[in-house]
Amino acid sequence: MSEYFSHRVDISEPNIITKKQEELKAQGIPVYQLNDSNPTHHHLTLEGLPDRYDADPKGQLFARQALAEFLSLRYQNDGFDKQSTGIQAISQHVNPADLYLTSSTSQAYSWLMKLLCDPGESVLCPTPGYPLISSLSGLECIHAIPYNLHYDGTWYIDVNEIEDLLQQNTGIRALILISPNNPTGSYVASVDYERLITLCQEYHLAIIADEVFFNFVLDPQQTPFRISGENRILTFGLDGFSKLLSAPHAKVGWIYVSGPENLVCDAKLRLDVIADDYLPMSGILAEQIPSLLQAVPAQIQRTQHRVQQNFMLLQQLLQQSNLHLLSLLHADGGWNVLLRFPESLDENDLVTYLIDTYLMTVQPGYFFDMPSNGYICISLLPEQEEFSQHVSILIHAIEHFYE
């Protein structure tokens, strides 16, 4: 299975001492450790903190069990018949052993780059897109090769283009799918997805499925499908509390490993080593995970209502405006949307004018590698009155350049 994994991770046989200790542990026989330097085992814990901490590289078992129950229920309640699109249905049961808790989605990406890529190898990532992946890949000494998301009224993946990239570049180890993508707001279409699965099987690619914005559907009639849990190809599903709870300070992310059983076993063997080296999950935070999971449904509903209402309001404000130079690009989900204006107006000129005149800023399209000048990205999260006021200012600012 070496075609899937890097050579970075040492999975050689444990030494005889470790073996003996593991055998006794499996039999439930305690072994006193004269070298035990965990202060919580010796009644030295700071008052107010959990009394005992036993490191679990994947994250504390009770937390992963609670997460597995949550995810299993989520898959059951998605209300989407994958068979109607030809997409293979995933297992309804998530095993805690297939979950890895991380301190963030960024850390999950870094672990997977270590797992899959030797230095100098590559991953495929979508563009336009948030620049996180290219930055992380540089830190991991690998390359992020972009594949284009094309726009013709909706966003789509040109699968033939990805196949060309695979033929032209050796050392591509993974395909990153972000559904919905940020900032395009586009979910992966089922017709593209089935062809991508075939390509991944042919070229021995793993899929990294980033679904942190998945729940925030902008069109209530839409029913996107989840990629995480895919069992035909080695797949790593990414999600976390930062988006589910609208709480970027609740730094809990996770990796859900799925796919053919032999590949999943090999991947977890190596991920166990990486997780053991980093031990990312705080015991203090782990204790809060079960209760935080209970808060997820209501918080998703609250945030989704906000972005859906602002999405409709934005369309109304653009329609009511006499300015026909500003248009909304189609978006399916997420927290952000792209607006387009004539390329003759430089993005930097518009943003600096907003700062100088209104003390207001916005992200220009080139931050996300948009294919040309004439785009800005705005958030749908503000409260409605504030959102309406600032969109009106934005419209007025663009009018200024065409008076």
Does position 47 have pLDDT exceeding 60, yes or no? yes
Answer whether 235's CB lies under 8 Å from 206's CB. yes
Q: Domain 297-401 adopts which CATH fold? A: Aspartate Aminotransferase, domain 1 (3.90.1150)
Residue 246: count of CB within 10 angstroms of its CB: 17
Q: What percent of the chain has pLDDT over 70?
A: 96
Does position 289 have pLDDT exceeding 80, yes or no? yes
Q: Give the per-residue pLDDT at 86.
A: 41
Domain boundaries, the chain: 16-295, 297-401
Q: What is the pLDDT of residues 6-19, one digit of tens each?
A: 999 988 888 898 88
Does position 31 have pLDDT exceeding 80, yes or no? yes
Q: Give the per-residue pLDDT at 222.
A: 80
Q: What is the pLDDT of residues 215-253, one digit of tens each?
A: 999 987 788 999 999 999 999 999 999 999 999 888 899
State whether residue 123 is helix, strand or coil.
strand
Question: What CATH number labels 16-295?
Answer: 3.40.640.10
Q: Global pTM?
A: 0.92
| Percent helix, strand and coil across the chain, each to the nearest 5 | 45, 15, 40
Q: What is the pLDDT of residues 366-403, one digit of tens each?
A: 999 999 999 999 999 999 999 999 999 999 999 888 87
Among all chains, which residue has been given the structure tokens 């559907």?
A: 217
- Tell me the CA distances in angstroms from 399 to 148, 312, 341, 393, one per residue in order: 31, 22, 11, 10
Answer whether 180's CB lies under 8 Å from 186's CB. yes
